[in-house]
Structure 1
Amino acid sequence: MIDISIEKLALLLIIAVFVLGPTKLPEYARKLARLIRELRRMASGAQEKIRQELGPEFEEIDWRKMDPRQYDPRRIIREALLEDEPVPSAAAAVPVTPPSAPPARPVVRLAEGQKAPFDDEST
């Protein structure tokens, strides 16, 4: 949708009056109204054609589920992993580290002036 405030619209109308003049302004206003009516007719026709092509299933779609703002990867993964398993209670939950997690490396401080290790094959 075009985001035009009332002030901007009024300014455009004043400029149009000065540029077009009072003699041509009604003619261009009629042309603009005709164009808007034609665009609305085309939009409603396209909407009706889409409804006919997609059939009655189109009306049953919950468009809120497909809103990308509702996308939460953590929830999706949680639901996929716990799809068939019951959700454990908080008291029965035991923290488990995944077996594929690499062991934590100790932090090694470099001496002053010592260069950091660099692996040519990693990049």
Structure 2
Amino acid sequence: MFGINGAEFVVLLVVAVIVIGPERLPRYAEQLGSFVRSARGYLRDAKARVDEEIGAEVGDVDWSKLDPRQYDPRRIVREALLDDDPAPIRPAVPVHPPPPPAPVPGPAPFDDEAT
């Protein structure tokens, strides 16, 4: 939780005892405990409300499949290229060379009255 290991937590407790003092420490610890309990209650209520509004069909979703860290672009491209449905094979059609282009007559006529 918060990246604090046991030794760091003990150091924080010692610093808290020195800074806050032994007279006020129990009162602050009680306030912290009540805050944590109320925060847990709020989170539990919010989760219940979300579950109620979304419905049961969301409970069946496998969220691990939607994790973006699992996507490998190489795998996606490989699966797209190696699709199970092979492309239809066209029958062999004899290839004829294209006809030669039509000869182009001289320059286009110019009509000076058209403009």
| Structure 1, unaligned runs of 5 or more | 87-123
- The alignment covers a number of residue pairs equal to 86
1:27-106 counterparts in 2 under 5 A? 27-85=27-85
Return the letter of the residue paired with 1:33: G
Write out per-residue CA displacement over residues 3-34 of structure 1, whole angstroms, 9 at most, x where no aligned residue: 11111110110011111111100000000000
What RMSD over aligned residues (CA atoms) do the two structures have, in Å? Answer: 1.6
- 1:52/1:80 Cα in 2 relative to 1: closer, same or farther (>3 Å)? farther
**Higher Rg:** 2
**Residues 32, 49 of structure 1: CA spacing in aligned structure 2 closer, same or farther, 3 A cutoff?**
same
Report the CA distance between 1:84 and its aligned residue.
4.5
Please list the CA deviations of residues 60-98 of structure 1 after superposition, one character each: whole Å capped at 9, or x if unmatched.
Answer: 110111112211112223333444426xxxxxxxxxxxx
* Higher normalized contact order (CA 8 Å, seq sep 6+, divided by chain length): 2
TM-score (norm 2): 0.67
Aligned to 2:102: none
Aligned AA for 1:44? R
Q: Residues 83 and 42 (structure 1 numbering): CA distance in 2 closer, same or farther, change over 3 Å?
A: farther
| Deviation string, structure 1 residues 31-51 (Cα, Å, up to 9, x no partner) | 000011111111111111111
Q: Which 4+ runs in 1 deviate beyond 6 A?
A: none
Q: Which structure 2 residue ranges, 5 or more long, are not aligned?
A: 87-115
Normalized against structure 1, the TM-score is what?
0.63
Mapped partners of 1:71, 1:62: distance in 2: 15
